[in-house]
Structure 1
Amino acid sequence: MAEGAVVQALIKIRSAFGETALPFLKEFIKKEAALLLELPELAKCIRGELDMINSFLLQVRSKIHSTDNEVLKRWVVRVRQVAYRVEDIIDEYTHNVALLQDQSYLIRKMREAYNVRTFHSIATGLKEVSDEIKQLSEMKTKYAEYFGELLSNSNANTQAHLSRDGSLHTVKEGIVGMTVEMDLLNSWLAPYDLSRVVLSVWGLFGLGKTTLVRKVYESMKEQKSFDCYSWIEVPHTYNNDVILRQLIRDLSEDQSQVPGNLESMYGSKLVDILSGVLTNKRYLIVLDNVWDAAAFHGISSFLMDSGKASRIIITTRTSDVASLAQDTYKLKLKPLGDDDAMELFCRRAFHNSNKVCPPHLDDLCKQIVRKCGGLPSAIYAIGNVLAVREKTEVAWKIMNDQFQCMLEDNPGLGEVRSALSVSILFLPRHLKNCFLYCSLFPQNYRLSRESLVKLWTAEGFITKRGSSTLEEVADEYLMELIRGSLLQLLETDEIGRVAFCKMHDIVRDLALSYSRKEMFGLSDGDLQTDQKEDVRRLSISKCNKRVGSILEFPRLRTFITTNGGAESDLLHSLIQKSKYLAVLELQDSPIDIIPANIGELFNLHYLGLRRTNVKSLPKSIEKLTNLETLDVKYTGVDVLPKDICKLKKLRHLFAEKLIDRNRQVFRYFKGMQLPHGFSHMNEIQTLETVEATKDSIELLGKLTALRTLWVENVHRVDCTKLFASLSEMENLSSLLVSASDEYEVLNFDSFSPSEMKLQKLIIRGCLENDTFDKLVFKNLGFHIKYLSLSSSRLGNDPFPLLAKNMKNLIYLSIRKWCCAEEVALRKDWFPRLTTLFLGDMKQVHTVVIEPSAVESLEALYLVSLTAMTAIPTGLELVGSLRKLVVWGQSDDFKLEWKRENWEMKLRHVPEIRI
């Protein structure tokens, strides 16, 4: 995994020396000219050497992972240390070049001696690093016998071993907890469909994909349901000719007909032989553990469809490969339920007795099984380990307490480690650091997409792709990890994007062991390390004074606290002892003062203070010239200091004060006024939230790069200028506009962008009756997917105009709205709507849903519609409905619900709350 550090160093070099900053050095620093002029050449040399080392590491990654050779292990450690050192030096270089460019001629002359010393130190550091990298390269020749081992042909065998699904449980004994899945798979193999069908079985490592398919496959062979069979384990690095030869051998009924010179045949000759073998045959072929679509296409193209109901089964961990199967033939496996998990565990742990857990071990068994997270491979392997242990509470408690360590080094759990190792080792290099980063958060932590995207960007993990922003690229990285089953999707937002995800407990434990070994990052339990010089990232969830006293990590780049784990003393210590910090996430911590010396963190890209007690930001914040994200949301900060206008790289600013936690008043949150000079913040993409003063509205007109804007305390007289400013923001995708009070009427007449892909719109305040028939919504309303309206006291029915101009709505919420007595959703009005929220609409007494009005609706919320006495007409016809929440309704409504037995009428709805 050292290549993750190497890749990061390469990214920094390309970024720093791709700029035209060096002329400043040549012109203003006369002394030590020879050494300084070597800087770009040194960087070029280092980049070339690191590129070669990285290519080598990628080629031999599986062997390095499994080798016991101490020479190779030490070499990899040195590579990692050198790469980290390169990253630190380049960050210092980039920072000082930026300072130099910002200095006036006079200041440069005054600071000439200091600048000479600074850049001389940087050049010297790079020269030392360059020499060490050369030594590392020379070591490969000096110790050729050791490095030759890595390049041996056994690499393919290692990959094949690593690529096995670790869930080898109960193939002979009988599968636990998969009866439904086995029946489904058997039904798909029946010859009802005579065409060749591709099926996929997919999911997280260790779920038993291979075991399930093997069970069905062997059953088909016993029953002779097909004419011929083949099981192919597809290695990560595959060769079509090798696979073709195996198919010919497996599928040939008469082995004497297999050509004796098969091994010397290649390409089209092998295809011709395979075609002959498959002519008029009904075959069953399993492609086990397919990693990418190219591998499948390369094999599938040789397998003819002779109309005999042949079947190809793919097992895979990625949703991309699973999607190669027809829609009705995809089976996604889920973790075992508690009862099935316990049954499987007891079968293994107590197989020599009655396969029942003794009463005195019951609680410990449940705890151990719970830590396996429903993964059959882990349950089976740990059951085997414990089967030979004494059946005493002491012995089993040790296993429970040392669960994570056991996963790392217990030989009996090697299959579990290997199953995940291959997922990590063969991750695309741009994803490795992002994946390991997720392991730093606590077990079962809900990882927010918005936070991860900003953190990864601040860390420098994201590289530009075409015209996409870094944040958009990071979004795609996250989706790649989810599609590869390395992260589990927990929740999507209202328009279908990832909102929250998590790491499976065992995936996290093993990923964290990689992070620890690579010094990529540590969590709470690892603070007592002897390698503090190398530690790059630290995450803690609990803090005490002892933690602050041992926090001495001079090259720490990231500090993240969850659950309010940082105190003021700890913050002071961090700033003093960790000058390379790039990420400082302190949300929910009991901190009330930010030390003035925070300005010394020249490399800080992310400062998170959400829900802390901080009341002001120090003037020294102006020195954080690399800061990209500043989050002071829900703090005590009332005023944004003018000093933040010097943070030219700032991309995301969250600054909003919570006035009423219960949200009982209209203006329950308050935005910040933008300081003079903010108009020069050309990189700013997110502003949450701005108070609509005359000056702030004036400044907004110049922030054309904005993508997310929340603006509150808007008066009608502000609307012309405000919406004229917003019309210039072509990239705006999310907008909140909140009036000064619930009686204020907002006028959208001047909102007339020529081009804008606004997807999310939140409006709080009164609207004129024809608002949604204005030009902006006629022309651009089809882009809007999320619409939230609240607190309009004008008596119009918005639905007809919304249906006319916003056909693509996915989420619609209307609250505290004066409306007609009847709300009707007509045929074909909202074909894509999945969530509808109607709340606090006091006049509404009837809701009518016509057939096909909302044919995609999954969630319906009816909250405090106190005048509504009858169940919505047509509700039972909404076949897509999965959730119904009714709250605060009249007694008459509740009586009709019971009298008409609506629970039965809506039995197709899984979740109903009345």
Structure 2
Amino acid sequence: MVTNAVSVSLIGWFVTPFLSKSIKAVRKYIDEENKSLKNVTPKLKELADHLDGIRVIVDQVGLCFIKGTEEALDHLWRLKRAIYEAEEILDLYESLKNNRLSCEFVQQFTGTKDSPSRLEEVVEKLGGLGVRTRKLLKNSDSNPNIVHGSPILRRGPSQANPGNGFFGYADERHQLQNLLKGKQNKVIAIIGHGGMGKTHLARQVFDANEPGFEVRIWAHVCNKLDQIELLTEICQSPINKSGAPIRAPIMDTVAALESVVKGLSQTSGLIKLPKPCLVVLDDVWQHEDGFAGSTSCHTQRISRTQRNEAWASVLAMLRSLKSCKVVMTTRDKVCSTTLKADETIVLDGISQDPMKELLKHTAKSDQPPQELVQRIDKLKGSPRAALSLVHELKEANIKIQEQIILGELDDKNHIKGLYEEHLFTYHNLPLHLQSCLAFCSVFPYNWKFHPEKLTKMWIAHGFIDDTQVKQHMLADQKLLAMESVAKGYFKDLVDRSLFKIDTDGLYVIHVHIHSMIRQVSGDDCRSISNGSSSEIIVPATVRHLSVTAGCLAKLKPGPPLVESNVKPEDEFRPVRTLIVFTDKGAPSLPWSDIRQANSTLRKFKHVKVLDLTDTAITQVPDIVGELTHLRYLGVPNTLNHPPAQIPKLLLLYINHEATKTAPLMQSAPPYNPDGGGAGKAPPHNPGGFHDLYSESVIQ
């Protein structure tokens, strides 16, 4: 399951905005016909053709996974790495055409008589990998190695907890019952992320039927695309007050199906009297444009607007019925907003006492399993987590299997059943949101996110869709438009219950969701904290790295994906994000020694995002001025003065208009809980500094 998820994630990456932006940049440079670099134009054209060819292949395949072999996954990693190298080439070209780099850098790009250029090497590498990709993904409909309709892309009806037990959520259950007893027609939304017990709460109230509804309908609507599918599902499962099925005719038009639903809610005979009716719409989703169910990559396509219109029509019909109440369960707050729910009930986990009772009930024992009671904090109030773990432990045949299950819970917060729930949520996201969410796995568990700083990191890495930026952009305001779109992305993730606001106004990702995105991102992201190991190996696939300062000197590069002679300063060449945290218990080491900091950062010369805001350093290492790919720099409020090397860097890369209208270093604004930086909220400090952008981000 994890391998399949990584495969889908890798395939999806190739159709994110990143690849499209690279192709667009190459075409732009070709059109500019820079005279000093005209000898590289043919190779740029080859580069654009290779990138375009790869995009076309993956577009044709769609959302799928590649079956089975480590060799296939290794190929995808190599291809991804080669595309990243192409991006480095584009960074160099941007600097070369503006006469910003030394002769040494020029030779890297144009080559010499004795050695090929990096551009030539990358073009040759992409050419070979492109041929292999065509063979790997060709004839996707009939290729046995290409699997559409993976279990991780399909979703059946949500399963309520087995048995008659109901544990926790007493207040929420009482609230729902009171709303259903009211006289007015209402649409009530039960909201919470996967595994919180939404379906079980709705099912308990549905089965109890304390208000005495004469007609009850339970409809699972996850993959229903239009009015006919929605209404057909509603008509398939009506029961009467005592629970006996009500037979409804099968119809195939909207008008006929609406007539059936209206007939169910009325008495028979000449005088039609309304029957109290309860309709539960279980598992409502905000499907994106182009996503039409999950049984295949080639199913009918439908836009979000069309689907919203279908939902609006169905709900308008249900609202028109007298004495009809509607309950929807959803992970997406945006669904309750879009569908204009009258009331919302948010589920955020049950407390420890009912959790223990649930564990005991599920284990069918006088006492809950002690190995889970000891780890009850790991369950984070999720009823599904409790059920999944009890069942996994029951199915474990030998003690070592139990130890593996509990070890994954201890080390990775991994619970199989819950992982699959959250994985479906992830793969239902549009690709640009998948990239943004997966990036967050670079942060430690329980990290507190500052929206503005996180979104600026997304911008620096090119996760923002240019077509959306243009819709927000006025003349000479591309950066503001990018920030506006990025903030919209963050709001979209909040509305899908993937972030939640904490008590201090910052945002957190639920531990079980964080565990899922760490596994989906594979070795793309890595978070390293204090450990006893003398060496910590960083795989060559790692692009985004967070690390405590005390571990920096212990980092060692893993074997390269392709054999090559790696220079010491290029040991961590694949790393594009470096986030450094202060060590707990040793906040001043080793960053009190600026020479140590310079020596360490010299190995990360290809980073685009460097965040030092949690280090409490008083001086920025000199080496920062040599980070030619840097697009975002976060510095703490503890700096004593604007360092000389930062203006040097900014003169190379910051937007020229900004330097004319504002000082290079500005005082930090007062802390605003709705925006700021990623991590802890810094106190207001008139001597502090903003996080900084480079010009290449906003061109």
Partner residue of 2:492 out of 480, 484, 490: 480
- The amino acid across from 2:178 in the alignment is S
**Would the alpha carbon gap of residues 650 and 317 (structure 1) be closer, same or farther in structure 2, given more than 3 Å must change?**
farther
Q: Does 1:209 align with 2:198?
A: yes
Alpha-carbon distance, 1:135 to partner: 3.4
**Would the alpha carbon gap of residues 705 and 252 (structure 1) be closer, same or farther in structure 2, given more than 3 Å must change?**
farther
- The amino acid across from 2:207 in the alignment is E
Partner residue of 1:447 out of 440, 449, 453: 449
Q: Does 1:5 align with 2:13?
A: yes
Give the aligned partner of residue 406 of structure 2: 400
Q: Does 1:515 align with 2:521?
A: yes
**Would the alpha carbon gap of residues 703 and 313 (structure 1) be closer, same or farther in structure 2, given more than 3 Å must change?**
same
Count of equivalent residues: 610
State which structure, 1 or 2, has the greater radius of gyration over its C-alpha atoms. 1
Q: Does 1:160 align with 2:155?
A: yes
**Would the alpha carbon gap of residues 296 and 122 (structure 1) be closer, same or farther in structure 2, given more than 3 Å must change?**
same
Aligned with 1:402: secondary structure?
helix
Give the aligned partner of residue 183 of structure 1: 174
Q: Does 1:385 align with 2:378?
A: no
Give the aligned partner of residue 778 of structure 1: none
Aligned with 1:546: secondary structure?
coil
Structure 1 alignment gaps of length 5 or more: 493-498, 522-537, 652-679, 685-701, 712-733, 737-758, 761-787, 791-914
Give me the whole-angstrom Cα distance separating, in 2, the residues matched to 1:587 and 1:384. 38
Q: Does 1:505 align with 2:511?
A: yes
Aligned with 2:187: secondary structure?
strand
Give me the whole-angstrom Cα distance separating, in 2, the residues matched to 1:219 and 1:569. 60
Alpha-carbon distance, 1:505 to partner: 1.9
Give the aligned partner of residue 367 of structure 1: 374
Q: Does 1:79 align with 2:76?
A: yes
Alpha-carbon distance, 1:374 to partner: 0.6
Give me the whole-angstrom Cα distance separating, in 2, the residues matched to 1:505 and 1:205. 12
Partner residue of 2:598 out of 595, 600, 622: 595
Give the aligned partner of residue 241 of structure 1: 228
Kept in 2, the 8 Å contact 1:681–1:703? The answer is no
Partner residue of 1:225 out of 200, 203, 212: 212
Q: TM-score with structure 2 length normalisation? A: 0.75
Give the aligned partner of residue 311 of structure 1: 325
Higher strand share: 1
| 1:742-757 pair list within 5 angstroms | none
Alpha-carbon distance, 1:206 to partner: 0.4
Kept in 2, the 8 Å contact 1:228–1:252? The answer is yes
Q: Does 1:710 align with 2:696?
A: no
Give the aligned partner of residue 810 of structure 1: none
Give me the whole-angstrom Cα distance separating, in 1, the residues matched to 2:105 and 2:53. 33
Give me the whole-angstrom Cα distance separating, in 2, the residues matched to 1:225 and 1:38. 74
Alpha-carbon distance, 1:544 to partner: 5.6
**Would the alpha carbon gap of residues 486 and 165 (structure 1) be closer, same or farther in structure 2, given more than 3 Å must change?**
farther
Per-residue deviation, residues 179-210 of structure 1 (Å, max 9, x unmatched): 222222122112522xx321100112101100
Q: Does 1:93 align with 2:85?
A: no
Give me the whole-angstrom Cα distance separating, in 2, the residues matched to 1:599 and 1:148. 42
Give me the whole-angstrom Cα distance separating, in 2, the residues matched to 1:437 and 1:546. 27
CA root-mean-square deviation: 4.3
Aligned with 2:323: secondary structure?
coil
- The amino acid across from 1:607 in the alignment is L
Give me the whole-angstrom Cα distance separating, in 2, the residues matched to 1:178 and 1:486. 21
Aligned with 1:586: secondary structure?
strand
- The amino acid across from 1:233 in the alignment is H
- The amino acid across from 2:204 in the alignment is K
- The amino acid across from 2:172 in the alignment is E
**Would the alpha carbon gap of residues 29 and 485 (structure 1) be closer, same or farther in structure 2, given more than 3 Å must change?**
same
Partner residue of 2:68 out of 70, 76, 89: 70
Kept in 2, the 8 Å contact 1:165–1:289? The answer is yes
Aligned with 2:375: secondary structure?
helix
Alpha-carbon distance, 1:422 to partner: 0.8
**Would the alpha carbon gap of residues 74 and 312 (structure 1) be closer, same or farther in structure 2, given more than 3 Å must change?**
farther
Give the aligned partner of residue 54 of structure 2: 49
Q: TM-score with structure 1 length normalisation? A: 0.59
Give the aligned partner of residue 560 of structure 2: none
Aligned with 1:212: secondary structure?
helix
Give me the whole-angstrom Cα distance separating, in 1, the residues matched to 2:198 and 2:167. 13
Give me the whole-angstrom Cα distance separating, in 1, the residues matched to 2:685 and 2:533. 48
Per-residue deviation, residues 138-181 of structure 1 (Å, max 9, x unmatched): 44446864459745xx67996233xx446x324x3221012222
Give me the whole-angstrom Cα distance separating, in 1, the residues matched to 2:57 and 2:26. 19
**Would the alpha carbon gap of residues 248 and 131 (structure 1) be closer, same or farther in structure 2, given more than 3 Å must change?**
same
Give the aligned partner of residue 427 of structure 2: 425
Kept in 1, the 8 Å contact 2:218–2:238? The answer is no
Kept in 1, the 8 Å contact 2:569–2:602? The answer is no
| 1:24-63 pair list within 5 angstroms | 27-28=36-37, 30=39, 36-54=41-59, 56-58=61-63, 60=64
Per-residue deviation, residues 549-587 of structure 1 (Å, max 9, x unmatched): x34x4554332124x443456599985401243222224
Give the aligned partner of residue 123 of structure 1: 120
**Would the alpha carbon gap of residues 150 and 546 (structure 1) be closer, same or farther in structure 2, given more than 3 Å must change?**
same
Per-residue deviation, residues 23-70 of structure 1 (Å, max 9, x unmatched): 55664454xx6xx41423541452253144146333x4xxx3xx8x42
Q: Percent identity?
A: 18
**Would the alpha carbon gap of residues 283 and 134 (structure 1) be closer, same or farther in structure 2, given more than 3 Å must change?**
farther
**Would the alpha carbon gap of residues 321 and 204 (structure 1) be closer, same or farther in structure 2, given more than 3 Å must change?**
same
Give the aligned partner of residue 329 of structure 1: 343
- The amino acid across from 1:604 in the alignment is V
| 1:256-295 pair list within 5 angstroms | 258-259=249-250, 262=251, 265-278=252-265, 280-292=274-286, 295=307
Give me the whole-angstrom Cα distance separating, in 2, the residues matched to 1:327 and 1:143. 41
